[in-house]
Amino acid sequence: MRLNKYLALCGLDSRRGCEELITAGRVRINGVVVDKLSAQVMPDDKVLLDGKVIQPQPLVYVLLNKPRGYITTRHDEFQRQTVAQLVPLPVKLNPVGRLDADSSGVLLLTNDGELHYRLTHPRFGVIRHYRVTIAGKLSPGEMQQLQKGIEILPGKVARPTLKRIKSRDDHTVLHLELGEGLNREIRRIFTALGKKVLALDRLAYGGIRCRELRRGAWRYLTSAEISRLKKLVGLE
């Protein structure tokens, strides 16, 4: 087995991410530093990362209904609450994409490095659905501006698919679809329009929803759901 695949099966990162560990000289096989991407791992080999023995883990796929107030990471240097505290499993799971502390809804976690990489890479365009509540009203001109595309970073234009669900004098609720998921992309979109986001809830990720889960609850993905995600990104 190629070394990068072996490292990914250990839940460290995607295969591409694991290549960086190899070229940095952090991996040893049977006590010898290996920095060639073509390196192979044999069944009886002892593989170490930063001096610690690593072995492939059972692949785990979890769906969490993230509540507000939790950071989407495994550890936080400021001792804030993290999503890892909501899913107390012995394996290290990586969140698939991010929801900031003020956002809620569907969050996938897995130690399948290759699937994680593909689900989050813009090239695969995995669709995310959101319900967004903003302060005030959205004019027809602003709706048109959003549909045409709005610059959220230098040279980066976001073109969400959206529809208005309801509008009141003090707030507007929208359904929005994105296929990329840049960091804080939705909040950047509405900031560019001078609008404040009051609530942001992810409804679905790659077709996976969490309607039956209360906030803060989680469950394992079914085999059908795992297969669906893999087919979306060309792994099946």
- Active-site residues, by number, are 100
Q: Which residue has the tokens 């990914």?
A: 8
- On the 0-12 / 13-18 / 19+ scale of CB atoms within 10 A, 142 is middle
Contact yes or no for 133/165 (Cβ under 8 A): no
Q: If you count DSSP H runs as helices and E runs as strands, how many of each does the chain have, helices first?
A: 6, 15
Question: What number of other Cβ atoms are within 10 A of residue 1's Cβ?
Answer: 12
Q: Tell me which residue has tokens 């005030």.
A: 136
Structure tokens at 50: 């930063």
**CA geometry: angle at 232 spanning 216 and 96, to 5°?**
35
What are 130's two structure tokens? 């959101």
- What is the C-alpha to C-alpha distance for residues 180 and 235, in angstroms, rounded to an integer? 19
Question: Side-chain half-sphere of 222: how many Cα atoms within 13 Å?
Answer: 6
CA gap 131, 186 in Å, rounded? 10
- Classify strands 103-110 and 197-205 as parallel, antiparallel or unpaired: parallel
Q: How far apart are CA 180 and CA 165, in angstroms?
A: 22
